[in-house]
């Protein structure tokens, strides 16, 4: 167990924010590591409120032309009123529900134990709790196996016959507990609604009509004792006098896809649980553990990162976080550990066949989680996947790509009924039923229409990293449909004749005009135009690569050069974020940096004026240096720091990017390394993993970039990271890269390609074109000459 990839603690968790996180894609577990009582919060990734449902907004289609006319006439206030009245969604986004808890009563008092420690080994994805009581060393090992689809715990002691405990299941949802074939069986039905986005902590609503609507769910717990005995006593599974005992938990729901009613057309959750439990118990602990570790390491060990070491490597993780001081340089290994933790949680939350990582990954203990713990697709869900390709985890991208393809199905109805448009659309948020309408009727965030284009960028990037033509053919219909929608959303603005999206908004910002007018609804905002431009370019590139003769191509070719260009504000010199020279009121929400972070539209070499204008926004505002208000921000816990750190990395300024990462680690990281959202109350049991994964992406971008048609080595190496190495980073084109540097200079780079190709490589002012043969490593020295 390496200290460089291990989280270590000397006491049990005092809150959910300190629990050790485990997952296999569809099951999530948060283990507290208690002595007298162990609590493990459980989640199943398809346990959501509601059922698939669609009701079009009957006013939207008729209202759209009037809103557009008002925007073109400059009547923004009235356009915003009608948008709120008539262009909102019908229905509600579902909420991700907690499954329950696995509880272990040991009979050992919290007092009187010694040598306590708990660890989470990221390399094996095994959590361990160990302590000594009355001369006996007690140990628990816990892991979430992807191959077995089960949560597995082994309880042992170093004195024979010393293992005794009572295990039970509980849930905040309505449920019943029964015994079946010597196992505990907990089952229930999910609520119909839990009031997301209301800010109210109300009890969830269940279907009381007699129709039994809602997702059925079930969990089963079985024990395999080694010596001693096991039996059921009421609602507890009891182990007595054993040398060791293995607990196996499985859980499934009746979810059967986004379009199927889980109550009428659902899967058989009981049969699924029975089959998984039988298979796991037949395997036994040793085989399950070996299989799990091999499966996890096949992904996790693809990348190794060394940024240096210090005495802080030996500290307990919570103490290490408390001692971290931004900019001190005293703990270089924490950034490397945080990077690997980001990769770890992607593996734990996002596997082929699972749901994508939501706002909290797969972990949620609350029936009223912030924002429904759903997929907020105006930034959060996408940021979760920023590092996935470069970090060697292409398979983990698949759940988001699948969500996008499924959302295109539901979004086609909304495009037709809501906008009278072709193709498909999505808005600010979605759920397990692939809700595609606006989320509510608050124009400031509800009417974001570019999330489909942003999601399509992930489809394109997955292809760009692999170069797999079969993948390109697979994504073509989804790319095409998104382009159709945006072609139909474009109108000609009167001053310049540019094509602009109308209505539109700039993330969740309120704009302020020079004359004092304010609003959120606008036309052709900079970030939306960036996303549409990139979508159109990708559609043309895909059609060319596939040799397609499609009538849509002519439409895209005609519209692309007429899109509103990015502008520099004549009053501030900053990148202009609206068609007119308006300012925004939300400090951190600079979605216009999308063009630098998610594409190469803004690039220090290719478009230096635009890069300077965007950077001036960050350099001037520097909101992250202010003392955060605990309820209002500013903060660095989520996407707020992700855009800034990644933009600075794309500008080639590693020291500025590291400063954002430093402050994030100091101010916004919980004891279990989860990223907290500072704007919420200190005891609120939530975190946003886009904070983790946004910074994970930034670390990767400091070391390797490939978005501008070339391979750039150490493009934003911070001055504090003088010596280091990384193995296994991936670049576009199917290239894998190992780097070693010393005293800030590149010592060597080894490139491996999946297909033969010529690559333009850059390191600072040094450039070279190298020929790579498929499967044959090529090592370059610091001067970019073959070794």
Max CA separation in the chain (angstroms) = 84
d(CA 768, CA 765): 10
Q: What is the pLDDT of residue 564?
A: 98
Q: pTM, whole model, 2 decimals?
A: 0.97
Least confident range from 180-184, 267-271, 273-277, 716-720: namely: 180-184
Look at residues 210, 7, 16, 6 and name the one whose alpha carbon lies nearest to residue 98: 16
Give percent helix, percent strand, percent coil of the chain, each to the nearest 5.
35, 25, 40
- Other Cβ atoms within 10 Å of 117 Cβ, number: 14
Q: What is the pLDDT of residues 11-48, one digit of tens each?
A: 999 999 999 999 999 999 999 999 999 999 999 999 99
Give the full edge-to-edge strand order of the sheet including 175-180: 6-9, 114-121, 126-133, 136-145, 150-157, 244-253, 216-226, 183-189, 175-180
Q: What is the pLDDT of residues 373-411, one digit of tens each?
A: 999 999 999 999 999 999 999 999 999 999 999 999 999
Query: What percentage of the chain has pLDDT greater than the value 90?
Result: 88
- 19 CB-contact burial (10 Å; exposed 0-12 / middle 13-18 / buried 19+): buried
How long is the chain? Answer: 787
Write down the mean pLDDT value for the chain: 94
Q: What is the pLDDT of residues 739-753, one digit of tens each?
A: 999 999 999 999 999
Kindly give, in sequence order, each residue whose CB lies less than 8 Å from that of residue 699, ignoring residues fewer than 6 positions away: 305, 335, 338, 339, 661
Query: What percentage of the chain has pLDDT greater than the value 70?
Result: 95
d(CA 346, CA 697): 12
Q: Positive or negative, the Cα torsion across 128, 129, 131, 134?
A: negative
- Is residue 503 reached through a cis peptide bond, with omega within 30 degrees of 0 on the bond before it? yes
Average pLDDT over residues 242-246: 98
- 571 CB-contact burial (10 Å; exposed 0-12 / middle 13-18 / buried 19+): exposed
Q: What is the pLDDT of residues 444-455, one digit of tens each?
A: 999 999 999 999
HSE, side-chain direction, 13 A CA sphere, residue 298? 12
Pick the CATH number of 3-48+97-300 from 3.30.70.20, 2.70.98.50, 3.30.950.10, 3.10.450.30: 2.70.98.50
d(CA 314, CA 119): 12
């Amino acid at each position: 167990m390496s200290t460089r990839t291990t989280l270590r603690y000397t006491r049990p968790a005092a809150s959910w924010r300190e629990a050790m996180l485990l997952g296999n894609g569809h099951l999530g577990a948060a283990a507290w590591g208690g002595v007298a009582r162990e609590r493990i919060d459980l989640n199943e990734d398809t346990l959501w409120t509601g059922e698939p449902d669609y009701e079009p907004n009957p006013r939207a289609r008729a209202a759209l032309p009037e809103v557009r006319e008002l925007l073109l006439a400059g009547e923004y206030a009235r356009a915003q009123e009608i948008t709120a009245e008539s262009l909102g969604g019908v229905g509600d986004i579902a909420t991700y529900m907690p499954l329950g808890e696995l509880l272990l009563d040991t009979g050992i008092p919290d007092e009187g134990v010694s040598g306590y420690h708990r660890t989470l080994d990221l390399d094996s994805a095994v959590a361990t709790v160990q302590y000594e009581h009355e001369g006996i060393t007690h140990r628990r090992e816990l892991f979430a196996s992807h191959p077995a689809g089960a949560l597995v715990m082994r309880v042992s002691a170093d004195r024979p016959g010393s293992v005794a405990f009572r295990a039970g299941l509980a849930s905040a949802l309505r449920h019943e507990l029964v015994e079946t074939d010597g196992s505990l069986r907990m089952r229930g039905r999910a609520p119909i609604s839990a009031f997301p986005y209301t800010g109210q902590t109300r009890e969830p609503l269940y279907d009381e009509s007699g129709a039994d609507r809602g997702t059925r769910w079930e969990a089963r717990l079985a024990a395999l004792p080694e010596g001693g005995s096991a039996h059921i006593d009421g609602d507890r599974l009891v182990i007595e006098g054993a040398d060791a005992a293995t607990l196996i938990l499985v859980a499934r729901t009746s979810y059967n896809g986004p379009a199927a009613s889980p109550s009428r057309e659902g899967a058989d959750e009981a049969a699924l649980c029975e089959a998984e439990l039988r298979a796991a118990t037949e395997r036994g602990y040793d085989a399950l553990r070996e299989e799990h570790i091999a499966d996890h390491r096949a992904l996790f060990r693809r990348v190794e990162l060394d940024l240096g070491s210090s005495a802080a490597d030996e500290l307990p993780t919570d103490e290490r976080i408390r001692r971290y001081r931004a900019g001190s340089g005293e703990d270089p290994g924490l950034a490397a550990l945080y990077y690997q933790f980001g990769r770890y949680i992607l593996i734990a939350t996002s596997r082929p066949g699972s749901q994508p990582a939501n706002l909290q990954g797969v972990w949620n203990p609350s029936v009223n989680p912030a924002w429904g713990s759903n997929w907020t697709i105006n930034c959060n869900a996408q940021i979760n996947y920023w590092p996935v390709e470069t970090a060697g985890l292409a398979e983990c991208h698949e759940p988001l790509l699948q969500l996008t393809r499924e959302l295109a199905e539901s979004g086609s109805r909304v495009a037709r009924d809501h906008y009278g448009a072709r193709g498909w659309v999505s808005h600010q948020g979605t759920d397990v039923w692939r809700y595609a309408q606006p989320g509510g009727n608050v124009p400031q965030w509800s009417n974001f229409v570019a999330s489909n284009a942003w999601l399509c960028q992930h489809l394109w990037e997955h292809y760009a990293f692999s170069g797999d033509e079969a993948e390109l053919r697979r994504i073509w219909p989804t790319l095409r449909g998104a382009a159709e929608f945006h072609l139909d959303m474009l109108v000609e603005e009167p001053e310049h004749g540019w094509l602009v999206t109308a209505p539109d908004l700039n993330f969740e910002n309120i704009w302020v005009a020079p004359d004092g007018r304010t609003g959120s609804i606008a036309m052709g905002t900079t970030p939306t135009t960036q996303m549409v431009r990139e979508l159109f370019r990708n559609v043309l590139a895909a059609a060319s690569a596939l040799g397609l003769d499609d009538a849509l191509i002519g439409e895209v070719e005609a519209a692309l050069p007429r899109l509103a260009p990015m502008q520099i504000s004549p009053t501030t010199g900053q990148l202009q974020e609206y068609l007119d020279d308006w300012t925004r009121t939300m400090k951190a929400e600079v979605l216009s940096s999308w063009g630098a972070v998610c594409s190469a539209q803004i690039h220090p070499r290719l478009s230096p004026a635009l890069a300077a204008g965007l950077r001036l926004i960050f350099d001037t505002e520097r909101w992250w240096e202010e003392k955060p208000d605990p309820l209002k921000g500013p903060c660095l816990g989520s996407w707020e720091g992700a855009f800034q750190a990644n933009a600075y990395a794309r500008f080639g300024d590693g020291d500025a990017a590291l400063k954002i990462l430093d402050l994030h680690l100091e101010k916004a990281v919980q004891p279990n390394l989860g990223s907290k959202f500072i704007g919420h109350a200190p005891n609120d049991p939530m975190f946003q993993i886009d904070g983790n994964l946004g910074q994970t992406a930034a670390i990767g971008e400091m070391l390797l970039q490939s978005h501008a048609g070339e391979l750039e080595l150490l493009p934003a190496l911070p001055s504090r990271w003088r010596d280091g190495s990384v193995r296994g980073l991936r670049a576009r084109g199917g290239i894998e890269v190992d780097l070693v540097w010393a005293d800030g200079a590149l010592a060597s780079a080894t490139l491996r390609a999946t297909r033969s190709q010529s690559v333009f490589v850059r390191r600072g002012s040094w450039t070279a074109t190298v020929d790579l043969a498929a499967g044959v490593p090529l090592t370059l020295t610091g001067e970019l000459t073959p070794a």
